[in-house]
């Protein structure tokens, strides 16, 4: 009896590891039918309930000396793709980047709390300063990286710097 219990425990650990490996192995996974449109609609509704009213196109959010609108692309997409338009009059470049980083950080933290079957999140941010051309900031995170970054208790700047898949217009780079 004493020799069986440790052996059983060893087999249980091995079985658990095999289950985790098989769940992570996409080649052995059967095709799961996910209604991505419904998942994206659920995400949008949850974000609006969390105060992101700018996802409603008729309710822009005041942002610096202008406004921000956010449009979550809804359809049969396996990725949540947010198109964020920021129109400002005359804000400082440093102030603008800081405000964008804070908005992205807060939005990503809210997304992380919502349980949906979508695991990739893109923010495509277009910043238009009056009298200047439109500038783009792009960020993509998968759920695993998002949770890891949030657990580090970063500031907004550290969080954005920790995102590997990002691109800043030259105006906002290296600030």
Ordered per-residue pLDDT tens for the chain, 175 residues: 444 444 444 444 455 455 555 455 545 444 678 899 999 999 999 999 999 999 987 889 999 999 999 999 999 999 999 999 999 998 888 999 999 999 999 999 999 999 999 999 999 999 999 888 899 999 999 999 999 999 987 799 999 999 999 998 888 877 5
pLDDT score recorded for residue 3 = 47
Chain-centroid distance of CA 65 in Å reads 25
Q: Which helix (H) or strand (E) holds 72?
A: strand 66-72
Residue 53 is classified by DSSP as G
- Model pTM? 0.79
Contact of 114 with 107, CB cutoff 8 Å: no
Put the strands of the sheet holding 80-88 in their side by side order. 61-63, 66-72, 80-88, 120-129, 134-142, 165-168
Q: Are strands 120-129 and 80-88 parallel, antiparallel or unpaired?
A: parallel
Nearest to residue 120, comparing CAs of 163, 63, 61? 163
Using DSSP's 3-state secondary structure scheme, residue 42 falls into helix
H helix count then E strand count, the chain = 5, 6
């Amino acid at each position: 009896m004493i020799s069986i219990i440790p052996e059983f425990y060893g087999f249980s650990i091995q079985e658990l590891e095999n289950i985790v490996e098989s769940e992570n192995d996409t080649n052995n996974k059967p095709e799961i039918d996910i209604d991505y449109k419904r998942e994206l609609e659920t995400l949008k509704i949850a974000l609006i309930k969390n105060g992101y009213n700018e996802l409603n196109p008729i309710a822009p959010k005041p942002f610096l000396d202008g406004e921000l609108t956010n449009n979550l692309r809804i359809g049969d997409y396996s990725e949540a793709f947010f198109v964020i338009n920021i129109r400002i009059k005359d804000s400082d470049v440093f102030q603008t980047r800081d405000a964008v980083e804070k908005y992205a950080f807060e939005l990503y933290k809210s997304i992380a709390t919502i349980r949906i079957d979508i695991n990739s999140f893109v923010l495509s941010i277009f910043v238009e300063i009056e009298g200047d051309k439109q500038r783009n900031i792009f960020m993509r995170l998968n759920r695993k990286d998002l949770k890891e970054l949030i657990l580090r208790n970063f500031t907004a700047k550290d969080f954005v710097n920790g995102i590997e898949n990002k691109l800043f217009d030259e105006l906002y780079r290296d600030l």
